[in-house]
């Protein structure tokens, strides 16, 4: 389920087929409701011509194909101004690329990862952060596919916090491998960024799924422990649902992913219900700025996107009022 090891073409075909079945079921439900309404009116309800059913099948197949193609692309650049309360003037205009939910797998192999890395490095940003769900599969399965991530470059380095998929197949091995690739792991820990004597705290927590695999639960108190007072805090937390608790701890901004932007209209409302209402884009959460990224990639078990595009996100820090 979490690492389908079929050839890439088969994974794409499965996603198209499941999408076509989903869309056809929704169209059939709409047709049934329409026929039922006709039955309730005086007179005889008309029969549904076969041409209508063929058109429904064609429309469902086309929607599924578009959804899969949208999911597979290397995402375009999305620019976001991120408001930070108390941001020192020295950090005004500081640039960060957020990568999240890459789900490197048979569906998103080495060639795709390489193109993402090339686009990121061409942006020449100050910092790169990776907010979890980098891989689907064990280190043995994905070692070659993740290799391009070792070439990520930013002036202040690359930092990562884990997502739920990191815990499915070899959490410790993956964390060590990412560290060996040059990423600094922020798992209930923080780092201090410095610009001309001014400071910004970058913190990260583990994922909410960690205790189920015997790993430490998310602990914001530990992540912020012994940090300098009065320094704005930027938190990396894969899942956005705890944002109100985070805001209550005085965090200035939180970067999350996990939701894939809800993937498509209608489904995004269900995804929001499971994530405290946070599904895509910026939110003001009790004075804290929360940004929920649609994801760089998507889980290969449901790789469909309609009007909820993937994104390569460049965040520019701005002082919030």
What pLDDT sits at residue 38?
Answer: 85
Is the pLDDT reported for residue 45 higher than 80? no
The conformation of residue 202, written as its DSSP 8-state character, comes to E
- Nearest C-alpha neighbor of 83 from the set 93, 70, 69: 93
Cα-flanking dihedrals φ and ψ of residue 27, to 5°? -65, -40
Is the pLDDT reported for residue 141 higher than 90? yes
What pLDDT sits at residue 4?
Answer: 73
pLDDT in tens, 233-267: 999 999 999 999 999 999 999 999 999 999 999 99
What pLDDT sits at residue 2?
Answer: 64
The conformation of residue 74, written as its DSSP 8-state character, comes to P
- Nearest C-alpha neighbor of 317 from the set 97, 96, 129: 96
Is the pLDDT reported for residue 276 higher than 90? yes
d(CA 155, CA 163): 24
CB 134 within 8 A of CB 178: yes
Q: Does this model's pTM top 0.75?
A: yes
State the pLDDT confidence band at 5, using cuts at 50, 70 and 90: confident
Residue 127, judged by CB atoms within 10 A of its CB (0-12, 13-18, 19+), counts as: buried
What pLDDT sits at residue 42?
Answer: 83
CB 113 within 8 A of CB 312: no
What pLDDT sits at residue 40?
Answer: 86
Q: How many CA atoms lie within 13 A of 281 on its CB side?
A: 4
CB 157 within 8 A of CB 128: yes
Percent of the chain with pLDDT over 70: 99
Q: What is the mean pLDDT of the chain?
A: 96
Is the pLDDT reported for residue 46 higher than 90? no
Strand order of the sheet with strand 158-161?
77-85, 312-320, 95-99, 127-131, 158-161, 183-185
Residue 33, judged by CB atoms within 10 A of its CB (0-12, 13-18, 19+), counts as: exposed
Beta strand pairing call for 281-285 and 288-292: antiparallel
What pLDDT sits at residue 1?
Answer: 60
Beta strand pairing call for 198-204 and 189-195: antiparallel
Is the pLDDT reported for residue 319 higher than 90? yes
């Amino acid at each position: 389920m979490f690492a389908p090891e079929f050839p890439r073409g088969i994974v794409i075909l499965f996603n198209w087929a499941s999408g076509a079945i989903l869309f056809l079921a929704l169209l059939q439900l709409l047709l049934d409701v329409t026929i039922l309404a006709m039955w309730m009116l005086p007179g005889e309800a008309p029969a549904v011509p076969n041409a209508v059913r063929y058109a429904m099948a064609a429309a469902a197949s086309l929607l599924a194909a578009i959804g899969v193609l949208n999911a597979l692309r290397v995402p375009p650049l999305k620019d976001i101004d991120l408001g930070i309360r108390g941001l020192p003037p020295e950090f005004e205009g500081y640039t960060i690329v957020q990568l999240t939910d890459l789900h490197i797998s048979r569906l998103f192999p080495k060639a795709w990862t390489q193109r993402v890395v090339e686009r990121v490095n061409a942006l020449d940003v100050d910092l790169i952060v990776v907010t979890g769900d980098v891989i689907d599969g064990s280190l043995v399965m994905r070692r070659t596919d993740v290799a391009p991530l070792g070439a990520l470059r930013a002036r202040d380095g690359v930092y990562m916090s884990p997502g739920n998929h990191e815990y499915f197949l070899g959490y410790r091995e993956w964390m060590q491998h990412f560290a060996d690739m040059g990423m600094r792991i922020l798992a209930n820990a923080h780092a201090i960024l410095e610009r001309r004597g001014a400071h910004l705290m970058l913190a990260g927590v583990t994922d909410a799924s960690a205790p189920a695999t015997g790993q430490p639960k998310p602990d914001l108190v530990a992540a912020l422990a012994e940090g300098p007072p009065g320094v704005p805090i930027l938190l990396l937390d894969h899942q956005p649902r705890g944002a109100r608790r985070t805001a209550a701890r005085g965090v200035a901004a939180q970067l999350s992913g996990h939701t894939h932007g809800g993937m498509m209209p209608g489904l995004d409302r269900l995804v929001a219900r499971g994530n405290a209402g946070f599904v895509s884009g910026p939110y003001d959460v009790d004075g804290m700025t929360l940004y929920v990224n649609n994801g760089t990639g998507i889980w290969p078990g449901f790789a469909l996107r309609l009007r909820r595009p993937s994104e390569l996100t460049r965040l520019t820090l701005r002082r919030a009022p």
